């Protein structure tokens, strides 16, 4: 029975990328998704697995790889980057970098985050990857690591590709966005409306392509995009009352539509849902059977705090389900994962957390195990006779 229940729960959990909510809400858009950033819970989705051109939302991955290299100490915000002829040649949104000049990396990152500069994006890619083609390889490698199963990157800008298939999905964009917002600098830059960066002989003005940061409460990012093929796109993030949401809109017809749809989607999330700490780290589950252990009953503790997002007014319908590892046998080491606790609502799994053994349990000796088996057999025999 436990094995069957575990299989059912895990199958359900594997489909968390499909929204468990949103049936009372819809958007007239080609593809969209709304996710709570910390838990990853999907609050709304529409065609979120459909491969589509992402335009400049591509630059989320460009920024992510750069921030990771800074975190590792392989490059710094103060590093100077030499601009190549290829970076200079980029069209579309740009700050008109000149080949041979040297620009501080932080200024390039700000130019990408705020103004979506294609030339700055290429310069960053070449500085991080050594060569542009190697950086594209790193982008696809990172996408694979993040589980972005329906994504192929052909460039670091999102500009149309004449030969190739540059695409991603709303859901895959969420995966890389959740990683990028871990860097406070990105949210700091993403909150800036107008800024200036110093280039050789002149200043370049950066105007944020995401106008919602001026009008939508709590918004501090993340990345706009537009090409004729992709339409108007926006991966946005906002935080209110200790809950951060990430939304993605792909294929809007106008810039105004993109903004209005994003605002509606985020409003739905903030108004219809709340987030609570449901299980605390160290909270215990008791009376766990270990039939072949020297000690036959033990406890487990919750591995980490578990926050859950749910529809307002429905907290009372949340249920806790404990499922032990189907191969759970002694010996057991303290701290070993021996099962999971699921938070379930109306048949849907909202979240899960590992349960850890609170003590070492040695395996019982052969004689003890045989004696227990005999006693159990006798008990079952008597029970059968009485029935």
Query: What pLDDT is attached to residue 5?
Result: 46
Buried b (16+ CB within 10 A) or exposed e, 154-190: bbbbbbbbeeeebbbbbbbbbbbbbbbbebeebbebb
> Measured in whole angstroms, how far is the alpha carbon of residue 347 from the centre of its chain?
23
Active-site residue flag, 85: no
Residue 21 has a pLDDT of 56
Q: What is the pLDDT of residue 82?
A: 97
Tell me, what's the pLDDT at 294? 86
Residue 272 neighbours by CB distance under 10 Å? 17
> What pLDDT does 336 receive?
95
- Label the pairing between strands 297-302 and 348-357: antiparallel
Indicate which residue of 56, 93, 156, 177 is catalytic. 56
Dist. CA 200–CA 177, nearest whole Å: 32
Q: In the chain, what are the domains?
A: 13-275 (3.40.710.10), 280-366 (2.60.410.10)
224-246 as b/e: b if 16+ CB within 10 A: bbbbeebbbbbbbbbbeeebbbb
Is 116 labeled as catalytic in the residue annotation? yes
> 18: which residues sit within 8 A by CB, 6+ positions away?
42, 45
Q: Which of 93, 116, 121, 247 is catalytic?
A: 116
For residues 300 and 339, give the distance between their C-alpha atoms in angstroms, rounded to a whole number: 9
**42-46 and 80-82 strand pairing:** unpaired
Residue 302 pLDDT = 97
CA 341, 343, 346, 348 torsion-angle sign:
negative
Predicted local confidence at residue 16, as pLDDT: 41
Q: What is the pLDDT of residue 372?
A: 62
340 alpha-carbon distance from chain centroid: 21
- Which residue in the list 59, 110, 142, 223 is annotated as catalytic? 59
Please tell me the predicted confidence (pLDDT) of residue 153. 97
Q: Please list, residue by residue across 327-344, b when 16 or more beta carbons sit within 10 angstroms of its beta carbon and e when fewer do.
A: ebebebeeebebbbbbbb
Structure confidence at residue 306 (pLDDT): 97
pLDDT value of position 44? 97
202-235: pLDDT as tens digits: 999 999 999 999 999 999 999 999 999 999 999 9
**Per-residue pLDDT, 1:** 38
Cis peptide before 331 (omega within 30 of 0): yes
Active site residue 56: yes
Give the residue ranges of the chain where pLDDT is below 70: 1-23, 365, 367-369, 371-373, 375, 378
The pLDDT value recorded for residue 11 is: 43
């Amino acid at each position: 029975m436990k094995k069957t229940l575990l299989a059912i729960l895990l199958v359900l959990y594997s489909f968390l990328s499909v929204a468990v909510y949103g049936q009372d809400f819809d958007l007239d858009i080609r593809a969209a998704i709304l996710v709570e950033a910390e838990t990853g819970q999907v609050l709304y989705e529409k065609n979120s697995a459909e491969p589509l051109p992402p335009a400049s939302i591509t630059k989320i991955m460009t920024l992510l790889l750069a921030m990771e290299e800074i975190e590792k100490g392989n490059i710094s915000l103060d590093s100077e980057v030499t601009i190549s002829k290829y970076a200079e040649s980029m069209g579309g949104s740009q700050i008109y970098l000149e080949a041979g000049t040297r620009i501080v990396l932080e200024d390039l990152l700000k130019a990408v985050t705020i103004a979506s500069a294609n030339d700055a994006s290429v310069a960053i890619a070449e500085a991080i990857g050594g060569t542009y083609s190697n950086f594209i390889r790193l982008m696809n490698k990172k996408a694979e690591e993040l589980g972005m199963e329906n994504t192929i990157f052909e460039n670091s800008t999102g500009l149309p590709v004449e030969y190739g298939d540059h695409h991603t999905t709303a859901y895959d964009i969420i995966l890389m966005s959740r990683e990028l917002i871990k860097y406070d600098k990105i949210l700091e830059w993403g909150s800036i409306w107008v800024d200036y960066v110093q280039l050789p002989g002149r200043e370049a003005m950066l105007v944020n392509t995401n106008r919602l940061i001026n009008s939508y409460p709590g918004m501090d990012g993340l990345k706009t995009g537009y090409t004729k093929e992709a339409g108007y796109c926006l991966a946005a993030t906002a935080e209110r009352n200790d809950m951060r949401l990430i939304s993605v809109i792909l294929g809007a017809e106008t810039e105004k539509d993109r903004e209005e749809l994003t605002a509606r989607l985020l409003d739905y999330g903030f108004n219809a849902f709340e987030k609570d700490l449901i299980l605390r780290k160290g909270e215990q589950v008791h009376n766990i059977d270990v039939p072949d252990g020297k000690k036959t009953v033990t406890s487990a503790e919750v591995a980490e705090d578990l926050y859950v997002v749910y529809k307002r007014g429905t907290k009372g319908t949340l249920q806790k389900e404990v499922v032990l590892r189907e191969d759970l046998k002694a010996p057991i080491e303290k701290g070993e994962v021996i099962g999971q606790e699921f938070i379930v609502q109306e048949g849907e799994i909202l979240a899960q957390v590992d349960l850890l053994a609170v003590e070492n349990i040695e395996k019982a000796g052969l004689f003890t195990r045989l004696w227990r088996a005999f006693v159990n057999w006798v008990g079952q025999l008597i029970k059968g006779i009485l029935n």
